[in-house]
């Protein structure tokens, strides 16, 4: 029974594991190719759309809001990564339109980093509070 529950959770949440694994690899600097990074960004963004649609069918209320914030964070991070690829290929062209593109991408990434950070903080606080409530319910004696 527990094994079946764990399988269902894995099946329900597997698209979230892909961006987590991808970002861990990116932090290690493993995919050196910008083309691979672009593919990762597009694939993770598409998976987050798929994941959100799946969550809309299975969750309601505050749980849907919580998992939607997680998905939104990964989707925005994927957009940031795709912009980073554009930034890489447009660097060093100050005199033409690519220089303007580079400057625009740098500004967009600067703007995107704030909502990503806010989403991460909200999700972390929400998860900690939820875990604390769950733990308090398990520990408190029933009278």
Q: What is the 3-state secondary structure (H, E, C) of 26-50?
A: HHHCCCCCHHHHHHHHHHHHHHHHH
What is the tally of helices (H) and strands (E) in the chain?
Answer: 4, 0
pLDDT score recorded for residue 113: 96
pLDDT score recorded for residue 95: 67
Q: Indicate the average pLDDT of the chain.
A: 91
What tokens does 103 get?
């400057």
Q: Does residue 2 surpass a pLDDT of 90? A: no
Domain ranges, ordered by start, for the chain = 2-139
Confidence of residue 52 (pLDDT cuts 50, 70, 90): very high
Q: Are 116 and 70 in contact (CB under 8 A)?
A: no
Q: Does residue 128 surpass a pLDDT of 80? A: yes
This prediction's pTM: 0.86
Give me the percent of the chain exceeding a pLDDT of 90: 72
What tokens does 55 get?
């969550």
Query: Among residues 71, 93, 78, which one has the least CA distance to residue 41?
Result: 78
Q: Are 78 and 49 in contact (CB under 8 A)?
A: no
Residue with tokens 């959770």: 9
Average pLDDT for 40-56: 96
Query: Among residues 86, 70, 74, which one has the least CA distance to residue 37?
Result: 86
How many CB atoms lie under 10 A from the CB of residue 101? 16
Q: Does residue 108 surpass a pLDDT of 80? A: yes
Confidence of residue 96 (pLDDT cuts 50, 70, 90): confident
Q: Are 118 and 69 in contact (CB under 8 A)?
A: no
């Amino acid at each position: 029974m527990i094994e079946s529950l764990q399988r269902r959770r894995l099946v329900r949440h597997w698209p979230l594991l892909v961006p987590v694994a991808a970002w861990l690899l990116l932090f290690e600097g493993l995919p050196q190719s910008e083309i691979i990074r672009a593919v990762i960004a597009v694939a993770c963004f598409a998976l987050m759309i798929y994941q959100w649609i799946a969550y809309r069918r299975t969750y309601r209320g505050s749980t849907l809001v919580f998992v939607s914030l997680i998905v939104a964070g990964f989707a925005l991070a994927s957009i940031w990564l795709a912009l980073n690829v554009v930034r890489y290929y447009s660097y060093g062209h100050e005199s033409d339109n690519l220089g303007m593109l580079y400057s625009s991408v740098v500004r967009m990434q600067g703007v995107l980093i704030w909502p990503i950070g806010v989403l991460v903080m909200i999700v972390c606080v929400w998860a900690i509070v939820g875990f604390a409530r769950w733990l308090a319910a398990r520990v408190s004696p029933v009278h």
